Protein backbone atom coordinates (compact mmCIF):
# COMPACT_ATOMS: atom_id res chain seq x y z
CA UNK A 1 0.00 0.00 0.00
CA UNK A 2 1.40 3.40 -0.98
CA UNK A 3 1.85 6.12 1.63
CA UNK A 4 -0.36 9.00 0.57
CA UNK A 5 1.55 11.41 2.81
CA UNK A 6 4.94 10.83 1.15
CA UNK A 7 4.78 13.92 -1.04
CA UNK A 8 3.64 16.06 1.84
CA UNK A 9 6.40 14.79 4.09
CA UNK A 10 9.01 15.51 1.44
CA UNK A 11 7.86 19.12 1.10
CA UNK A 12 7.92 19.42 4.89
CA UNK A 13 11.54 18.16 4.89
CA UNK A 14 12.55 20.98 2.55
CA UNK A 15 10.83 23.49 4.84
CA UNK A 16 12.30 22.16 8.09
CA UNK A 17 15.82 21.53 6.82
CA UNK A 18 16.45 24.17 4.17
CA UNK A 19 20.08 23.11 3.67
CA UNK A 20 18.85 19.86 2.08
CA UNK A 21 18.19 20.49 -1.60
CA UNK A 22 15.06 19.41 -3.44
CA UNK A 23 17.18 16.97 -5.43
CA UNK A 24 18.56 15.44 -2.23
CA UNK A 25 15.05 15.22 -0.74
CA UNK A 26 13.78 13.41 -3.84
CA UNK A 27 16.68 10.93 -3.56
CA UNK A 28 15.83 9.94 0.01
CA UNK A 29 14.62 6.34 0.29
CA UNK A 30 14.26 5.91 4.06
CA UNK A 31 14.24 7.96 7.23
CA UNK A 32 17.79 6.64 7.79
CA UNK A 33 18.81 8.48 4.61
CA UNK A 34 17.21 11.62 6.05
CA UNK A 35 19.11 11.17 9.32
CA UNK A 36 22.37 10.98 7.35
CA UNK A 37 21.53 14.15 5.42
CA UNK A 38 20.54 16.07 8.56
CA UNK A 39 23.66 14.87 10.34
CA UNK A 40 25.89 15.94 7.45
CA UNK A 41 24.28 19.28 6.55
CA UNK A 42 23.84 20.51 10.12
CA UNK A 43 27.00 19.04 11.68
CA UNK A 44 25.02 17.06 14.26
CA UNK A 45 26.00 13.81 15.88
CA UNK A 46 23.99 10.80 14.78
CA UNK A 47 22.02 10.60 18.04
CA UNK A 48 20.78 14.18 17.77
CA UNK A 49 20.00 13.86 14.07
CA UNK A 50 18.03 10.66 14.78
CA UNK A 51 16.03 12.38 17.54
CA UNK A 52 15.23 15.33 15.28
CA UNK A 53 14.12 13.09 12.41
CA UNK A 54 12.11 10.79 14.69
CA UNK A 55 10.27 13.76 16.20
CA UNK A 56 9.61 15.18 12.73
CA UNK A 57 8.52 11.90 11.11
CA UNK A 58 6.34 10.90 14.08
CA UNK A 59 6.04 7.33 12.81
CA UNK A 60 5.57 8.27 9.15
CA UNK A 61 7.64 6.70 6.41
CA UNK A 62 9.14 8.47 3.42
Domains of the chain by residue range: 19-62
pLDDT in tens, 14-27: 999 999 999 999 99
pLDDT category of residue 2 using cuts at 50, 70 and 90: very low
Stated pTM of the model: 0.85
Distance CA 10, CA 62 (A): 7
10-14 average pLDDT score? 93
pLDDT in tens, 20-52: 999 999 999 999 999 999 999 999 999 999 999
Asked whether 41 and 17 are in contact (CB, 8 A), the reply is yes
pLDDT category of residue 61 using cuts at 50, 70 and 90: confident
Distance CA 12, CA 8 (A): 6
15-44: buried (b, 16+ CB within 10 Å) or exposed (e) per residue? eebeebeeebbeebeebeebbebbbeeeee
Amino acid sequence: MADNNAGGMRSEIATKWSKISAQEVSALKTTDDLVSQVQSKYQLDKTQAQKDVDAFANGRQL
